[in-house]
Amino acid sequence: MNKEANKEIERKFLVDDRSGSWRSTGYSEIRQGYLSTDKHRTVRVRTAGDAAYLTIKGITEGATRAEYEYPIPVADAGEMLDTLCLQPLIEKRRHRVEYAGLIWEVDEFYGDNDGLIIAEVELESARQAFDKPPWAGAEVTDDPRYYNANLVGNPYTKWKT
C-alpha cells in the first residue's frame, strides 16, 4: 500500500499452477470478516497469526482504492469475527512469494471459498510495469466476484461452473 497517500494499488490474478511451485516455506493463517460490504466502503476485521487489524477501504477505481488500516487487540478481533461480522468468514492461507523484485501474496482459500487461489501484487503506481510469474493466470482485478468482500455473499463453492 502506498502509505503516504493511503492508497492501495493492487492487481489480482488467478493461480493456474495447482502443484504449488509458488508455495513458500511458510504461510500465515488469515481469518477475516466484514462489518460492511457496501461497494463505496468496506470495513474488515482480520486476524493474521498473532496480529489483528481493522481496515476501512473505499470504492475501487481500476486497481486503486483508499485504504486505512489500524492494529487492534486480537481478542477484540476474535469477538467481532464471531459475533458481529457477516457470515461466512473468509479463511485463507497467505504465502508471500518474491518474484522479479516484487512480493506477491498468494491466497489459498478454504471453507466456503475452498478451491480458489488468487495472487495479488501491490504496486507503487497504477502504471508500474511488472513481470507476471508463470503461475499467475488470468487477471481478475476488475472482476468484482473475486473481491474478498463479495466472496462473503457469493462464496466460490456456490458458483456454477
27 is catalytic: no
Question: 99, 105, 89: which is closest to 11 by C-alpha?
Answer: 105
Among 27, 34, 146, 156, which one carries the catalytic annotation? 34
pLDDT surpasses 60 at 68: yes
The CA distance from 13 to 106, in Å, is 9
Does a structural domain hold residue 135? yes
Q: Give the domain extent around 76.
A: 8-158
Check residue 12 and give its pLDDT: 97
Determine the average pLDDT of the residues in 129-149. Answer: 95
> Residue 86's pLDDT band (boundaries 50, 70, 90)?
very high
Residue 5 has pLDDT above 90, yes or no: no
Q: Is the pLDDT of residue 66 over 90?
A: yes
Instruction: Tell whether 3 is covered by a domain.
Output: no
Supply the pTM of this predicted model: 0.90
Looking up residue 22, the CATH number of its domain turns out to be 2.40.320.10
How many domains does the chain fold into? Answer: 1
- Rounded CA-CA distance 45/74 in Å is 10
